[in-house]
Structure 1
Amino acid sequence: MTASDLRLRQIEAFRAVMLRHTVTRAAASLHISQPAVSRLIADLESRVGFVLFERQQGRLVPTAEARVLFEEVERAFVGLDRITQAAQQIRAMRRGSLRVAGSPAVALDLLPAVIARFVETHPGIDVTLLAHSATTVVDKVASGQCDVGLIAEPIPHHAVRSERLADAVMRCIVPRGHRLARKPALRPADLRGERFISFPLSFDARSAIDRVFVDHDVSRDLVVEAQLSQAIVALVANGAGVALIDPVTAAYARQRVAVKPFEPAVPDHFYIVTPASQPLSVACDAFVGDMREAFSTLVAG
């Protein structure tokens, strides 16, 4: 006899009789007829090659062999119960894991805020947060090392889906107490001759910013370059100059610097990246929804 000789329904009928002690109650628990239970037990006895129950005064009494078999059946069903429970927990987002990667512009403030709310709502989900360059974030999602990423520039890759989030624009930041901090909005002419902190020339954001000032024939004193928006905020807060930065970083920098609208608008786009070859888990799909909502709320403020 091999494992394939046994049928799950036969094992279920045997377990039900052992637990309920009568065919009537076993049949009721399985939602089948009493003759069907008796037939399943008879088939199982034929397969295993020994008697499982003896009738004594109208009652079914399990044999010694049945008791030994029942111990193994219970071990198996405990495992099945655990699998069922795990599936229910995963479906209800009470169990699982989520690996999130983000560019520094979002990984240091926005994503921690989203994750904090997410784990509060779904305490069974373990979350890992990684901060990398946009290219590395895309590579990690493409290779399956991360479930979802949020980046501040478009990085095409055949193995990921990229979803552009709500339109956003850069903000101008100046030191608190600076003469420009009193203006409701700033224009290129307002920054003429100001010490200006820039992104490196290799950054798309740098090109977009420089183009605006060239178009308006405004010269700036380009004194410092920095890769990270957070570093630019620190430089401005310490009086090194003024800058244009992404709206996410700007939203979290209001305690350190004066944040002002800038006209004409300099677009700044953010992208959610997910694997192209597989559907999102229930938890990941919910997290993506939370990211969309949090981003839209933040950049609208």
Structure 2
Amino acid sequence: MDGHQENSVKIRQLEAFRALILRQTVTRAAQMLHVSQPAVTRLINDLEADVGFALFDRTNGRLYPTPEGMVLFEEVERSFAGLDRIAQTAEQIKSLRRGSLHIAGAPAMALEFLPSVLTGFMREHPGINTTLLIHASSIVIDLVVGRRCDVGFIAHPLTHHGVNIESIHSAPMRCILPHGHRLAGKAVITPEDLRGESFISFPKEFDARMLIDGLFAQRRIDRVMTSESQLSAAICVLVQHGAGVALIDQITAHYARDRVVVKPFEPTILSEFALVTSNQHPVSSLAGAFVDYAKSRMIEMFPAASPPR
């Protein structure tokens, strides 16, 4: 058949053809399609005219598929199976059981909190696949701007014209000590308690470092600055092995509480975490559902967190 004939075959004709073979009579085919019997007969006649050969033998008032009709039926079945898969995929996407989720996070959130949250989310939405990237906050923002991830989680507020930044967690930093430390029995640690202590810091360019150093300078309290690391998780390991004491964010301290002694610190120095989304492109339904899930888990795990400013 020529191109005109190929293009003239309509989906409704193929539905009638398929229904007639599956149900074997025009009456039952019409019931399957919820149309009249004459409509089925007309669709079959039109299809035969379009393809240019007989699809059924008409014997004693009954229709029997011709060999050519059965060959065509096999192809139609494959096509309808593909349509069923498309419909099924659409339903899975709608019900958040299909799709890809790309998350990027700063280490303080992405080493422990985000993997645990992501696992719970995947349990509730089987069938999705996920990617978790761990980068510095500035790179997380670049990934969101470049559409290489759906949403990002950063460890301190930054500004960028291409993204929306929403504070999702703000809480006082914690003091961490090695087990057996002389201050381990104190309920609250103050700057005066840490006079002369070996201290592990963030790098000088970090906002938290500037806040901490400013507080100790204001009170004229000297520490022994022994080590630096940009990763709060690495600082925890240094403290665990006795390299010194430190101030870190509440989330990292929560996951390190079995390895180090975690104490409240006063006066309050806040650490803040924020959600990053593109202001050029809306997040997918799947990414939006993950954000809601992550926020609810944050509230459950850190009920003492101050409300975002």
Residue 24 of structure 1 corresponds to 27
1:165 to partner: Cα distance: 0.4
1:229 to partner: Cα distance: 0.4
Which string of whole-angstrom CA distances, capped at 9 and with x for unpartnered residues, describes residues 217-251 of structure 1?
43333222211101111121222221111111100
Aligned positions of 1:1-301 closer than 5 A: 1=4, 3-300=6-303
SS in 2 for 1:146: coil
1:158 to partner: Cα distance: 3.8
- Retained in 1: the 8 A contact 2:5–2:51? no
Distance change (3 Å), C-alpha of 1:18 and 1:284: same
> Percent sequence identity over matched residues?
54
Q: Which moved more, 1:272-281 or 1:220-229?
A: 272-281
1:168 to partner: Cα distance: 2.1
SS in 2 for 1:165: strand
In structure 2, list runs of 5 or more residues that go unmatched: 305-309
> Which structure 1 residue ranges, 4+ long, deviate > 4 Å from structure 2?
none
Q: Which amino acid aligns with 1:90?
A: I
Instruction: For 1:42 and 1:160, locate their aligned partners in 2 and report how far apart those are by CA, in whole Å.
Output: 59
Instruction: For 1:109 and 1:216, locate their aligned partners in 2 and report how far apart those are by CA, in whole Å.
Output: 34
1:171 to partner: Cα distance: 1.0
Distance change (3 Å), C-alpha of 1:108 and 1:67: same
SS in 2 for 1:271: strand
SS in 2 for 1:213: helix
Instruction: For 2:34 and 2:165, locate their aligned partners in 1 and report how far apart those are by CA, in whole Å.
Output: 49
SS in 2 for 1:182: coil
SS in 2 for 1:270: strand
- Retained in 1: the 8 A contact 2:5–2:50? no
* TM-score for the superposition, normalised by structure 2: 0.88
- Retained in 2: the 8 A contact 1:248–1:298? no
1:147 to partner: Cα distance: 2.4
- Retained in 1: the 8 A contact 2:106–2:136? yes
Instruction: For 1:267 and 1:233, locate their aligned partners in 2 and report how far apart those are by CA, in whole Å.
Output: 18
In structure 1, list runs of 5 or more residues that go unmatched: none
Which string of whole-angstrom CA distances, capped at 9 and with x for unpartnered residues, describes residues 156-191 of structure 1?
334433222032221111222222221111222222
Give the root-mean-square deviation of aligned CA atoms: 2.1
Q: Which moved more, 1:149-158 or 1:168-177?
A: 149-158
1:110 to partner: Cα distance: 0.9
Q: Which amino acid aligns with 1:57?
A: N
Q: Which amino acid aligns with 2:289?
A: A
Which string of whole-angstrom CA distances, capped at 9 and with x for unpartnered residues, describes residues 71-101 of structure 1?
2211211111222222233333333332222
Number of residue pairs matched by the alignment: 301
1:253 to partner: Cα distance: 0.8
1:13 to partner: Cα distance: 1.4
- Retained in 1: the 8 A contact 2:153–2:275? yes
Q: Which moved more, 1:117-126 or 1:230-239?
A: 117-126
Instruction: For 1:177 and 1:188, locate their aligned partners in 2 and report how far apart those are by CA, in whole Å.
Output: 19
